[in-house]
Structure 1
Amino acid sequence: MHAGHAQTLAAARALGDCLVVCLNSDASVRRLKGPRRPIMGEADRAALLRALACVDAVVVFDEDDPRRVLARLRPDIWVKGGDYAPDDLPEADLVRSWGGRIVTTPLLPGRSTTRLVGALADAG
Structure 2
Amino acid sequence: TALFADDGPAPVPVPGVDRDALRVVHEVRSAGGTVVATGGCFDLLHAGHARTLSAARALGDCLVVCLNSDDSVRALKGPERPIMTQDDRVELLLALDCVDAVVVFDEHTPDEALRRFHPDVWAKGGDYAASELPEAATLAEWGGRVVTVPFHPGRSTTRLAAALAAVG
Shift, 1:87, TM fit: 2.0
Which deviates more, 76-85 or 13-22? 76-85
Aligned to 1:79: 123
SS at 1:19's partner residue?
strand
Q: So what's the TM-score if we normalise by structure 1? A: 0.96
CA distance in 1, matches of 2:132, 2:75: 19
CA distance in 1, matches of 2:150, 2:81: 24
Spell out structure 1 runs of 4+ moving beyond 4 A.
Answer: none
Aligned to 2:35: none
Are positions 1:32 and 2:45 aligned together? no
CA distance in 1, matches of 2:150, 2:82: 24
Aligned to 1:114: 158
The Cα offsets for residues 22-48 of structure 1, whole Å up to 9 and x where unpaired, read as 000000000001111111000000000
Output the amino acid matched with 2:155.
Answer: R
Identity %: 69
Cα RMSD (Å) = 0.8
Aligned to 2:93: 49
The structure that is helix-richer by fraction is 1
Shift, 1:109, TM fit: 2.1
For this pair of structures, how many residues does the alignment match?
A: 124
Q: So what's the TM-score if we normalise by structure 2? A: 0.72
**Which runs of 5 or more residues in structure 2 are unaligned?**
1-44
**Which runs of 5 or more residues in structure 1 are unaligned?**
none
CA distance in 2, matches of 1:110, 1:62: 28
CA distance in 2, matches of 1:29, 1:83: 19
Could you say which structure has the greater relative contact order, defined with CA pairs below 8 angstroms and 6 or more residues apart? Answer: 1
